Amino acid sequence: MKYNKEAKPGSQDKSPRVFQLTILFFCAMRIKAVSFPECSADYQDYTPCTDPRRWRKYGLHRLTFMERHCPPVFERKECLVPPPGGYKSPIKWPNSRDQCWYRNVPYDWINKQKSNQNWLRKEGDKFLFPGGGTMFPKGVSAYVDLMQDLIPEMKDGTIRTAIDTGCGVASWGGDLLDRGILTVSLAPRDNHEAQVQFALERGIPAILGIISTQRLPFPSKSFDMAHCSRCLIPWTEFGGIYLLEVHRILRPGGFWVLSGPPVNYENRWRGWNSTIEEQKSDYEKLQDLLTSLCFKLYNKKDDIAVWQKLSDNSCYDKLSEPDTYPPKCDDSFEPDSAWYTPLRSCVVVPNPKHKRSSLDTIPKWPERLHVAPERIYDVNGVKASALKHDDSKWKVRLQHYKKLLPAIGTDKIRNVMDMNTVYGGLAAASIDDPLWVMNVVSSYSANTLPVVYDRGLIGTYHDWCEAFSTYPRTYDLLHLDGLFSAESHRCEMKYVLLEMDRILRPNGYAIVRESSYFVDAVATIAKGMRWGCRKEDTEYGIEKEKILICQKKLWYSSNQSTR
């Protein structure tokens, strides 16, 4: 599925006639209050589209079973996901980076298996995160210090966005926050290591995902840096298709950092259950593949190797030669199409018309936040002035939101999701607050996510008729603006609201900005989810548009202990 190239920003692919019919349909049926039952206690960590209960239905090849496989409508759970017994409000940021409540993520086996790696340990009623890991026994800060010595661009605002594939408990991404670098920590759901759940419980950006057979849900040229610390991804297998995907999402001039096999094989091979000849061969294969993808070895020391994706497109000319592997992707294969889009064994060549999207030409952070990116012109009917207008609008909006919900800007709200952003306006307006925002762009709307990333923010494509790629209880605040008006014709509101309930933390908040009808409809359904809601005016007092402020109540399953 591709995003809609013709849609205008802030709107989904929907005609006025369809919208009118949708309103008439909902008015005719009249939303009725329904009290949703509790899910059983064994669903406390339920992730509908990455559910281990359904893995056996899918193939083992390239770990396809770990990708998104959403249940059909008739298998959807219309119930409220309970918290673990003894759950309580997460520890506040920044203390949460180093500790979390054990009862919120009660995984005893992790403490036993990972304690020797210094990832985390259990002390009393808490998990502690010392900042260690397989490849950074001296701690993550020392590891990143060495990385900064190898990549000076990490120090001056050149590098702003990063992705960590196979993120562990996201200590690398957590450390980079203090250095002005915003990281998407990525790991798959599995039966054991709840890596993404730990990351989000700590207040560090993360999302469930795996490089397998589908593209990651990010546009091309999203990240300034990509990182793999012994992430166990077989980079040179299957024709190097996994590295081709890293190449697609990495900005020209961006850096790929690898620590672990086969880097430093000369000194490390004995501990890898391998031979020096095998590791040398693996390193040479990797180097050859990277060279063919227009990467150059940028720096290397000890266990860390850094490659840079070349900014000069002339390197890709050789890919047009017959029998060259990998070949160029043809022009019909949209670089930003990334929602259930299959991986292909070809190189996405950066668009030569984008002169200011490489790492050496895009403004440094924080200047880039308010500079209209070059790719804004790719959005249908948009001018550069649209970003300035959006910034002004969001400055006023956020002030109003803070009056309605004083918790915004305090340590009560850390993990925020803008469920249908345009240019990342909420994230930009709140950049000085102690929070981060996951910007979501609908796979059915105008493709504005490249603009979000070019501003130095993070986000993902998503279809809200499906479950989001995260664990339950991972966000403190959800914001949506006109989502139901735009997309209610595609799926029932209750499914979207039940998904919001799943990913919202107990005592967390939702801000629903909608037409008066949809605000009333949401309020009716929310009663059945044990939310408390109140209707407020917008900052301009427009009658046809209202704001609903909701808070999810903390409750415990009637079938489990609260201790």
- Domains 1-86+366-563 and 138-320 are alike in CATH topology: yes
CA distances from 313 to 321, 377, 551 (A): 15, 21, 51
Kindly tell me if the per-residue pLDDT of 62 is higher than 80. Answer: yes
| Cα–Cα distance, 344 to 348 (Å, whole number) | 10
Q: What is the pLDDT of residue 34?
A: 87
In terms of DSSP H, where are the helices of 437-476?
449-454
Q: What mean pLDDT do residues 71-80 have?
A: 95
Averaged pLDDT score across all residues of the chain: 92
Q: What is the pLDDT of residue 473?
A: 98
Q: How many CA atoms lie within 13 A of 427 on its CB side?
A: 27
Kindly tell me if the per-residue pLDDT of 6 is higher than 60. Answer: no
CATH architecture of 138-320: 3-Layer(aba) Sandwich (3.40)
Asked if residue 85 lies in contact with residue 556, where contact means CB atoms within 8 angstroms, the answer is yes
pTM of this prediction exceeds 0.85: yes
- Residue pLDDT, tens place only, 369-423: 999 999 999 998 898 899 999 999 999 999 999 999 999 999 999 999 999 999 9
Residue 142 in tokens: 């020392």
Q: What mean pLDDT do residues 362-372 have?
A: 97
246: left (phi over 0), alpha (psi -120 to 50) or beta: alpha
| Domain extent listing, the chain | 1-86+366-563, 138-320
- Residue pLDDT, tens place only, 423-480: 999 999 999 999 999 999 999 999 999 999 999 999 999 999 999 999 999 999 999 9
- Residue pLDDT, tens place only, 176-214: 999 999 999 999 997 656 889 999 999 999 999 999 999
| Cα–Cα distance, 449 to 218 (Å, whole number) | 8
Kindly tell me if the per-residue pLDDT of 312 is higher than 50. Answer: yes
Backbone CA torsion sign across 218, 222, 228, 229: negative
The strand order across the sheet containing 126-128 reads 99-101, 126-128, 121-123
Q: How many CA atoms lie within 13 A of 114 on its CB side?
A: 24
Burial 239-270 (b: 16+ CB within 10 A, else e): ebbbbbbbbbbbbbbbbbbbbbbbbbbeebbe
Strands 223-229 and 161-165: parallel
Q: What is the pLDDT of residue 449?
A: 99
Asked if residue 538 lies in contact with residue 547, where contact means CB atoms within 8 angstroms, the answer is yes
Q: What mean pLDDT do residues 42-49 have?
A: 97
Q: Which residues pair with 534 in a beta bridge?
A: 549
pLDDT band at 2 (very low <50, low <70, confident <90, very high): low
| Cα–Cα distance, 177 to 180 (Å, whole number) | 5
Q: Can you tell me which residue has the tokens 């494509």?
A: 461
Q: What mean pLDDT do residues 144-160 have?
A: 98
Between 111-120, 331-340, 489-498, the lowest mean confidence (pLDDT) is in 111-120
Q: What is the pLDDT of residue 61?
A: 93
Between 115-119, 185-189, 226-230, 470-474, the lowest mean confidence (pLDDT) is in 115-119
Burial 200-219 (b: 16+ CB within 10 A, else e): bbbbbbbbbbbbbebbbbbb
Q: What mean pLDDT do residues 323-351 have?
A: 91
Please, which residues have CB within 8 angstroms of residue 264's CB and are 6 or more apart in sequence?
Answer: 302, 303, 305
pLDDT band at 83 (very low <50, low <70, confident <90, very high): very high
Kindly tell me if the per-residue pLDDT of 1 is higher than 50. Answer: no
Q: Which residues pair with 308 in a beta bridge?
A: 255, 296
Q: What is the pLDDT of residue 466?
A: 98
pLDDT band at 28 (very low <50, low <70, confident <90, very high): very low
The closest of 552, 550, 510 to 534, measured between CA atoms, is 550
Kindly tell me if the per-residue pLDDT of 550 is higher than 90. Answer: yes
pLDDT band at 27 (very low <50, low <70, confident <90, very high): very low
Kindly tell me if the per-residue pLDDT of 17 is higher than 90. Answer: no
CA distances from 36 to 82, 216, 496 (A): 12, 33, 14
Q: What mean pLDDT do residues 277-295 have?
A: 97
| Cα–Cα distance, 396 to 429 (Å, whole number) | 9
Quickly name the fold that domain 1-86+366-563 has: Rossmann fold (3.40.50)
Q: What is the pLDDT of residue 378?
A: 93
Q: What is the pLDDT of residue 23?
A: 46
Kindly tell me if the per-residue pLDDT of 19 is higher than 60. Answer: no
| Cα–Cα distance, 551 to 476 (Å, whole number) | 10
Q: What is the pLDDT of residue 115?
A: 56
Helices H, strands E: what count in the chain? 14, 17
